[in-house]
Amino acid sequence: MWRFAIKMLFGDSAKFYGILLGLGFASLLIAQQASIFVGLMSRTFAFVGEVGHVDLWVFDPTQSFVDDQKPLRSTAIDRVRGVEGVAWAAPLYKSLLVATLPNGVRRSVDVVGIDADTLAGGPAEVVAGSLADLRLPDAVMVEIGSSQQQLRLPADLAPGAIPAPGQVFDPAGPTRDVEVGDILELNERRARVVGLVKCAETFVAAPTVYTTYARALSYAPQSRRVMSAVLVTANEDADITTLAERIRAQTGLEALDPNAYAMRTLSYWMRETGIPINFGIAIALGFFVGVAIAGQMFYNFTLDNLRYFGAFKAMGASTWRLLGMVALQALVAGILGLGLGLGAVSAFGLNAAGGKLAFKMLWQIPLIAAGAVLVICILASVISMWKVVRLDPADVFKGP
Amino acid sequence: MTDPATISAHATAIRLRGVTKTFGRGESAVKALQGIDLDVPAGELTMLVGPSGCGKTTLISILAGLLSRDGGELAVFGTDLATLRRDRLAAWRRDNVGFIFQQFNLVPQLTVAENVSVPLVLKGESVAAAVRKAHDLLATLGLEGRGKSAPLKLSGGQQPRVAIARALIHEPRLLVCDEPTSALDAELGRRVMELIRGRSTRPDRAVVVVTHDDRIFHLADSIAHVNDGRIDQLTRGAAYARPTTSTSMGTSSASSGKNPGVHT
Ligand SMILES: Nc1ncnc2c1ncn2[C@@H]1O[C@H](COP(=O)(O)OP(=O)(O)O)[C@@H](O)[C@H]1O
Ligand SMILES: [Mg+2]
């Protein structure tokens, strides 16, 4: 009878596609919104992952997320270096500053100043030029990606060319990407692009501009010439957890490994913003729309077939066998609907990969969607099953 | 349970004594059956006839194991159905009863042969084997090669034959039909009833047909006239003691049958 149950499901194509659509839509909405949520949330701490070979981040204890700038005293670096077990400690500067383009357009950029000696805190991927070139006068490296939308130079200014005195560009005129050799202005000071880097998209979508720590301070306005964090690498034999405790005790600063620092940032955004609630609402909506559409369609499907179930019951099919048929129909519809939805989300994700859209489908997300679809199928089939249980076999002799 | 071989033609297959059934209670109670006494012989076709609402469907439902009685005695092939619990009763129906429903209730999403195979599949046969047997049986009913069709693609004359095949494929000892011709025109109804009679009467099988269609009364071996929850007349049908192959010739009215044994 299992085969017949499936044929009954597939054979009623209008209802079958309706059920699939409901379940597919629900799993699509759930998995897609969850993936965007995860993608968006991981952007809040993406900068931490950008920095390699760091054992501990040391920062002001009142700082609650990566971009929450709480200045450290300049002496912090020496105090951290003095802690036993620290191999090296490098200062880091990070702040939004204003860049002025040759056509007069002003843009916010995220300036990151790294230690000129160790170059610790530098970007993971250099696309053009070399990180060591940051030591050259006025040198900066610009992130491609965000800059291609936000840092656009006049098209009639050749790459690397310096505008002639008195030459003006139309701010609304045609533009081109930033290239190596181009000259920008950061707080009225010269910045020469010596390389291009690639960064993970961050939550604050301003293009990142890398330079040395000292030069970053010189670009910053007086009030913001402060250290943001200290990056620490531990001695080979040091235990990171105890080292972090020692730094905390001796400097009064917070010290966290990159993971913990990322989680601290994440939990701030989760706690303090409406983002999780908004995505939660979208996901719940997907769930309830699934229950409503698929549940309604499945119930109608069962109602349509009730007289045949009644005939089977009269002919001696046990109630359990009929319930099994309904459960199988719900399960098969669920699996196909889930496949449809997840397939669509994956296509969406592949399409979004590398683009502006935050999208990160963790392996748990399909499982969550599958769980949600399972619950929808159970809810949808329970009423149908109730109808089948209550079916009186004697009703087969009642009128149509 | 009694071995089918021990039931010879004209022996009592179903025995009812004082069977009662009431629906609802209090003011709105309906006494559908008020003491039914009836012996349904094996090897015969018994018709239950009577005005609408007299209790025919209730009676056939009780003796097919679809409905429980309130009082009286009932033995179907020696089994008192009241002793069977619900799932055992379902299994009993599966093993012993063939049904022809008024609307035939063929599942539109399944093929004709799959519909016919359902009783065998319910008994645990593989779908492949059951469908093969269904094709064979359909061929003997003039539906050769139609097994793979959708039931709704068949003509109005072919669908009843599918229902007959489904009712008989598992060789039940009891065949019950509630108004099998009421949805058909007179000519088709008569042909279908002839087919039921021709295909289903066997020495070890009891056939019970509910009808109020007097054009088919002549195909009965005996006719129980139900009135107000009682059987007030039991008459021999025109077909009684006649070879089953010549059933189509009789046109005599039911009451003209011989041996009008009356129970009350
Ligand atoms: N499930 C039920 N609930 C209440 N009353 C019923 C039920 N089934 C039948 N009846 C009543 O019992 C009487 C006999 O019905 P039924 O056996 O269907 O008659 P028939 O088949 O001869 O037309 C009718 O009055 C009918 O309304
Ligand atoms: Mg009736």
CATH of the domain at B50: 3.40.50.300
The predicted pLDDT at position A72 comes to 87
ipTM of this complex: 0.87
The predicted pLDDT at position A145 comes to 77
SS (H, E, C) B158-192: CHHHHHHHHHHCCCCCEEEEECCCCCCCHHHHHHH
The predicted pLDDT at position A355 comes to 66
In a domain, B186, yes or no: yes
Strand order in the sheet with B30-41: B30-41, B12-23, B71-76
Mean per-residue pLDDT over chain A, rounded: 89
Picking from B87, B127, B178, the nearest residue to A318 by CB comes out as: B87
Q: Is the pLDDT of residue B65 over 70?
A: yes
The CA-based angle A138-A144-A147, given to 5 degrees, is 80
Question: For chain A, what are the domain ranges?
Answer: 2-43+274-398, 56-256
Chain B contact set for A318 (CB, 8 A):
87, 90-91
Instruction: Tell me which amino acid residue B186 is.
Output: A
Q: Which of B84, B77, B85, B71 is nearest to B18 (CA)?
A: B71
Q: Which of A195, A204, A267, A232 is nearest to A46 (CA)?
A: A204
Determine contact: A288 vs chain B, CB below 8 A: no
Q: Are strands B174-178 and A125-128 parallel, antiparallel or unpaired?
A: unpaired
- Using pLDDT thresholds of 50, 70 and 90, give the confidence band for residue B256: very low
A184: phi then psi, degrees, rounded to nearest 5 = -115, 175
Chain A contact set for B102 (CB, 8 A):
397, 399-400
List Cβ neighbours of A13 (8 Å cut-off, separation of 6 or more).
none
Determine contact: A11 vs chain B, CB below 8 A: yes
Neighbours of A179 (CB within 10 A): 14
Cβ of residue B54 lying under 6 Å from some atom of ligand 1: yes
- Using pLDDT thresholds of 50, 70 and 90, give the confidence band for residue A113: very high
- Ligand nearest to the backbone CA of B59: 1
d(CA B68, CA B82): 7
- What percentage of residues in chain A have a pLDDT greater than 90? 58
**What is the domain extent for residue B200?**
1-77+173-264
A317/B67 touch (CB, cutoff 8 Å), yes or no:
no
Task: Quickly list DSSP for A235-259.
Answer: -TT--HHHHHHHHHHHHS-EEE-HH
Cβ of residue B23 lying under 6 Å from some atom of ligand 1: yes
Contact A98, A253 (CB under 8 A): no
Determine contact: B57 vs chain A, CB below 8 A: yes
Chain B contact set for A308 (CB, 8 A):
105, 107
Determine contact: A314 vs chain B, CB below 8 A: yes
Cβ of residue B58 lying under 6 Å from some atom of ligand 1: yes
Q: How many helices (H) and strands (E) does chain B have?
A: 6, 9
B234: phi then psi, degrees, rounded to nearest 5 = -125, 115
Picking from B57, B99, B109, the nearest residue to A8 by CB comes out as: B109
A316/B57 touch (CB, cutoff 8 Å), yes or no:
no
B112-165 residue pLDDT tens: 999 999 999 999 999 999 999 999 999 999 999 999 999 999 998 899 999 999
Q: Is the dihedral of CA B35, B39, B40, B46 positive or negative?
A: negative
Contact A91, A115 (CB under 8 A): yes
Determine contact: A398 vs chain B, CB below 8 A: yes
What's the rounded mean pLDDT across residues B58-66? 95
Provide the β-strand partners of residue B12: B41
User: Alpha-carbon Rg of chain A, whole angstroms?
Assistant: 30
Q: Is the pLDDT of residue B250 over 50?
A: no
* Chain B, nearest residue to A8 by Cα: B109
Name the H helices within A107-208.
146-150
List Cβ neighbours of A111 (8 Å cut-off, separation of 6 or more).
A93, A94, A95, A96, A97, A186, A208, A209, A211, A216, A219, A220
A319/B127 touch (CB, cutoff 8 Å), yes or no:
no
Pocket test for ligand 1, best of B21, B25, B47, B58 (most atoms within 8 A of CB): B58
The predicted pLDDT at position A301 comes to 94
- Using pLDDT thresholds of 50, 70 and 90, give the confidence band for residue B62: very high
Q: How far is B131 from chain A (nearest CA, A)?
A: 12
Helix (H) or strand (E) holding A279, with range, is: helix A275-314
List the residue whose alpha carbon is closest to atom 27 of ligand 1: B53
In a domain, B35, yes or no: yes
How many structural domains are present in chain B?
1
Q: Which of A98, A114, A130 is nearest to A47 (CA)?
A: A114
B179: phi then psi, degrees, rounded to nearest 5 = 50, 55
A285-307 residue pLDDT tens: 999 988 888 889 999 999 999 99
Distance B32 CA to ligand 1 centre (A): 6
User: What is the rounded (10 degree) CA torsion for A76, A82, A88, A90?
Assistant: 10
B110/A313 touch (CB, cutoff 8 Å), yes or no:
no
Helix (H) or strand (E) holding A127, with range, is: strand A125-128
Greatest alpha-carbon pair distance for chain B in Å reads: 56
